[in-house]
Structure 1
Amino acid sequence: MQVRRLAAWTALPLAVTLGLAACGGSGGGTGESNPDAAVRIEIAEPQHLVPTNTNETSGSQVLAALFSPLVDYDAENKPYEVAAESVTSTDNTTWTVKLKPGYTFHNGEAVTADNYLDAWNYGAYGPNGQNSSYFFEKIAGYTDLQAASGTPKAKTLSGLKKVDDLTFTVTLSEPYSEFKTMLGYTAFYPLPKAAFSAPGVLAEGYEQAPVGQGPFRMKGTWQHDAKVEVEKYDAFPGTKPKVAGVEFRIYQQPTAAYADVLSDNLDVIKTIPTENLSTAATDLGDRFQQSPASSLQVLAFPTFQKEFSNPDVRKAISMAIDRDEITKSIFKDSQQPARSFVSPVVAGYRENTIGAAGEFDPAKAKAMYTAAGGPAKIELSYNGDGGHKDWIDATCNQLKANLGVECVGNAEPKFADLLTKLKAKESVGLFRMGWVMDYPSMENYLGPLYSSNGSSNYYGYANPEFDQLLAEGAKAANEEAAVKKYQQAEDLLAKDLPVIPLRYGQNNFGHSTKVKNVEMDLFDRVDLLKIEAVK
């Protein structure tokens, strides 16, 4: 979702005040630290573990252990250097990236500028089909790496140039003042020479045991639908972890993870299941925690399908959903109803940008739906490994009652399965999506999701005016000017409504008695450099 993330599990939205502190402080660990112990953290099955192909929260949590980003973000969401020594520009078009010396990959290779250039060129090259290729679009030469058919004109980005082993330049096709901010995203991690069997060809099997340059290295291989294990990398030159390793334990059902936390058989559950929210504070005491998040939950339309191509059909469905009631009855007021397309955590957020489409009005919704020729049956698809069934069922019940339609929920076993079907444009009806920002910018809630070639535009939405406003915002000289353009773009989304904003998230998480200093960031990730095991 660092990073953008399509969120697999129900994100439990933002408190009304963004100054929310974790309930109960750092939680239960009062025992002596045990740096020789590993901790166990819940995730869903990742879709991928190649940085340029990973665009969901579970995969990015694993990669955050294996890689160190060029930049991270401070309390004001401003970027600061991590693996980079500096990221500078005098014109917002040509950027110079200097790397800190001393970083090595887990196989012993020294990290150089070539490792970033190789990884980014691989990710940007159209035939490689990387999910995050879109994020290289701003770099000069990107269009030459794409082709609707046949072979593209080029295999490498003309905007990438090596200066020396620890320095490279990035020339953008247009000025972009937030480029440094982007560099915290997963797609911009480096890859070792060993990741490639030939120039531009990923080595077979690399994804099963990724080699990074971060604080942890792989321990064995990715055990699909079971676990991914990592161990502390002693040669890491940055801030050292306080644990010996992490077992990322893969769960299909959030309730099973919750039961394991209660019995100390799992150390961190990143999202408390909806059915356990009302008892979590009693069950866990000060080990039940909350903190701000950047997540947004939506119901999305396949706008390319005739039955959902009319914006009036989409608006009528939105008006037939009582967000406030579902937030209260299902989520026990732990979420905030959403009526805008961006999160309150970023500059430029405005309340209720969808206007009348966000008002619960069953009579008007049914009249509009009938007049627009809405379908007699609605299917709501979601991932069964994410704790969504209760609110999907409640939404279906409202649509049945308020629109007079048949409504059914369709659970795909895993989030990765749903994404695969969406990418292939298979018919799934309306579908649940969640978004966690990649980097702190209003643009990140708009471009990847709704631009014509956005990396997570699974709805087929395309509006040239929207694309133009995004481009103008990106070229703006400062944040204030950029925000004005992005807000105009959001206003177009409110008219077209390719998705229905439903809820903003906050982190509602819990941990066992065997860990302390458990924190989660705005990106749905456990901070792996702060967590400690206790004896």
Structure 2
Amino acid sequence: MNLKRTWLVVPAALALGLSACSGGNAGSSSSSQSGTVEATPDAIITVNGSEPQNPLLPGNTNEVGGGKLVDLLFAGLIYYDAKGEAHNDMAESIEPNEDSSVWTIKLKKGQKFSDGTEVKAHNFIEAWNKVTDPKSPMLNTNFFVPIEGTDKEGVGMLTGLKADEDDYGFTVTLKEPTSDFGLRLGYSAFYPLPDSTLENPEAGGEMPIANGPYKLKDENAWEHNSRIQLVANPDYKGERQPKNGGITVVFYASLDAAFADLQSGVLDVLDAIPDSAFSTYEGDLKGRSVNQPAAIFQSFAIPESLEHFSGEEGKLRREAISYAIDRETITKKVFQDTRTPAKDFSSPVIPGFMDSISGNDVLTYNPKKAKELWEKADAISPWSGKFTIAYNSDGGHQAWVDAATNSIKNALGIEAEGNPYPEFKSLRTDITNRTIKGAFRTGWQADYPSMLNFLSPIYATGAGSNDTDYSSKEFDGLLAQASSAPTVDEANEFLYKAQEVLLKDLPVIPLWYANVVGGWAEGVNNVTFDWHSVPVYTDITKN
């Protein structure tokens, strides 16, 4: 598919042609279709989630628990629909110059935050500068690397931003042509912040002032480690108008508990199925479930800081461990074909995906080769200790971690086992603080539908989600060439070469691509899971 530069003008909608299938109205019940029971438009929909790692500031949120919430509370310049197609939200138009090095953005007038203040250009410009502030940079600085004023990690005052005199538009000057920059603007790092949060980010993170489809119910809406209650935001005038009265996100300690609540009708929508129910959930839910491709890549990371995993020894051991994992058997027996063994570092639903990148044989099961490589590493420095993979117990990961470590143990003849954390937040804290003592589970749910998004935020030097501190000049150079390519197809050619570098270095061990598997309760209708596995919450209704 050729995505020409001129397609990125976004006057009304930006068609990406994403191949992910939408569930449509798969959740519509027969009673609703017959007209005997009507949906209640003010009904509150209960869904599963997890306690955010940080306060709800879009520029400082790069994990699923918080990301789900900021996407409901905030609206950016564009948004992505269920198929991954981009539509204007706060933006009236987004237009590049001839070589895509300068972007002119015009805002719709009359768009407001939930405190009644208007959304203007400075709310974007100052919010973005909060992310890249050299004194206290936030997690998502990497998304701002292309803009003039930042360093290679995206830190620095954004001199490339200039507001129009009327404050209803601004220009973005980039360091070099970037053909897909307009496509990136629907990601949460680019959301605006109201004046009150710009003045006091700490307070704004705990009590977000929304400009999206939902807002906090009241000052007690966020019950930490329990739930958060959102209600429809009457000040939001965009296309994503809620068809329900609100969303209550319940923070579950385990997917098994969430699935039990779904079956009993306590929970309305569940966006993941516990591995214990993979073989039975479709029968249990009787037509109220989904199993479809999504833009999700799963892996585990092995930091170079760990003993035996630096230099040539570490390279050999990473290759050995990758060859030692029987992905085909694990995806069939543990996941019941709700996962597909990985062939690269992206996702099959992303435009340009290729399953034959040079060097991806390292992702096949070959215990003989794994043992040979391990012995070569032992010749450099004999192995000692136990290989562990950390995971969060509240995410349904134990079964695959046990299977993967058993596969490693059997192939290499070493001790290997899982290292469970009670919940996602504590795992992420140790990863962020670099205090974790072994390998750890990782993954990526796409921010925007582009192969570049699967690579740059995770593996670029200094990137916000680069949890292993991986750094490669060759890889970074290929990313830069891809970013400045005039078309997506030309960019992808550089990204295939960048992935060849990753397949040699293996900063993470690719495992599989995840389908979105989820379900909904009886009487809940219009449930659609989008291109990157998230329910389209605004469309959900119930009787």
8 A contact 2:153–2:463 mirrored in 1? no
**Aligned-pair distance for 1:359?**
2.0
Residues 285, 144 of structure 1: CA spacing in aligned structure 2 closer, same or farther, 3 A cutoff?
closer
Match of 2:339 in 1: 335
* Distance in structure 2 (CA, Å) of the matches to 1:195 and 1:233: 18
Match of 2:9 in 1: none
**Deviation per residue, 1:466-517 (Å, 9 max, x gap):** 1001001111111121111111111111111111111101111101113100
Match of 1:370 in 2: 375
Q: Secondary structure at the match of 2:170?
A: strand
What are the within-5 Å matches in structure 2 for residues 493-508 of structure 1? 493-508=502-517
Match of 1:12 in 2: none
**Deviation per residue, 1:345-379 (Å, 9 max, x gap):** 12221115343312211122112112212444101
Say whether 1:37 aligns with 2:43.
Answer: yes
Match of 1:176 in 2: 178
8 A contact 2:60–2:131 mirrored in 1? yes
What is the identity, as a one-letter code, of the residue corresponding to 2:209? V
Residues 260, 298 of structure 1: CA spacing in aligned structure 2 closer, same or farther, 3 A cutoff?
same
Match of 1:382 in 2: 391
Residues 217, 23 of structure 1: CA spacing in aligned structure 2 closer, same or farther, 3 A cutoff?
closer
Q: Secondary structure at the match of 1:321?
A: coil
Work out the number of aligned pairs and report it: 507
What is the identity, as a one-letter code, of the residue corresponding to 1:338? A
Q: Which moved more, 1:67-76 or 1:442-451?
A: 67-76
Match of 1:211 in 2: 209
Match of 2:3 in 1: none
What are the within-5 Å matches in structure 2 for residues 278-297 of structure 1? 278-297=279-298
TM-score by length of 2: 0.90
Q: Which moved more, 1:393-402 or 1:347-356?
A: 347-356
* Distance in structure 1 (CA, Å) of the matches to 2:247 and 2:60: 22
Q: Secondary structure at the match of 2:518?
A: strand
**Aligned-pair distance for 1:20?**
4.6
**Aligned-pair distance for 1:24?**
8.7
* Distance in structure 2 (CA, Å) of the matches to 1:388 and 1:23: 29
Q: Secondary structure at the match of 2:308?
A: helix
* Distance in structure 1 (CA, Å) of the matches to 2:482 and 2:347: 18
Q: Secondary structure at the match of 1:308?
A: coil
**Aligned-pair distance for 1:162?**
0.5
Select the residue among 81, 84, 88 that pairs with 2:95: 88
**Aligned-pair distance for 1:530?**
1.1
Match of 1:236 in 2: 236
Match of 1:348 in 2: 352
What is the identity, as a one-letter code, of the residue corresponding to 2:274? P
TM-score by length of 1: 0.91
**Aligned-pair distance for 1:444?**
0.7
Q: Secondary structure at the match of 2:437?
A: coil
8 A contact 2:83–2:530 mirrored in 1? no
**Aligned-pair distance for 1:407?**
1.1
What are the within-5 Å matches in structure 2 for residues 116-265 of structure 1? 116-143=124-151, 156-163=157-164, 164-197=166-199, 202-220=200-218, 221-239=221-239, 240-265=241-266
Q: Secondary structure at the match of 2:279?
A: helix
8 A contact 1:352–1:358 mirrored in 2? no
What are the within-5 Å matches in structure 2 for residues 266-285 of structure 1? 266-285=267-286
Q: Secondary structure at the match of 1:524?
A: coil
Residues 268, 451 of structure 1: CA spacing in aligned structure 2 closer, same or farther, 3 A cutoff?
same
8 A contact 1:313–1:372 mirrored in 2? yes
8 A contact 1:264–1:514 mirrored in 2? no
Residues 204, 452 of structure 1: CA spacing in aligned structure 2 closer, same or farther, 3 A cutoff?
closer
Instruction: Structure 2: give runs of 5+ residues left out of the alignment.
Output: 1-17
Q: Secondary structure at the match of 2:465?
A: coil
**Aligned-pair distance for 1:311?**
1.2
* Distance in structure 2 (CA, Å) of the matches to 1:349 and 1:473: 15
8 A contact 1:68–1:213 mirrored in 2? yes
**Aligned-pair distance for 1:462?**
0.8
8 A contact 1:124–1:145 mirrored in 2? no
Q: Which moved more, 1:325-334 or 1:359-368?
A: 359-368
Say whether 1:484 aligns with 2:493.
Answer: yes
Instruction: Structure 1: give runs of 5+ residues left out of the alignment.
Output: 1-16, 148-153
Select the residue among 488, 506, 526 that pairs with 1:517: 526
> What is the percent sequence identity of the aligned residues?
37
Q: Secondary structure at the match of 1:509?
A: strand
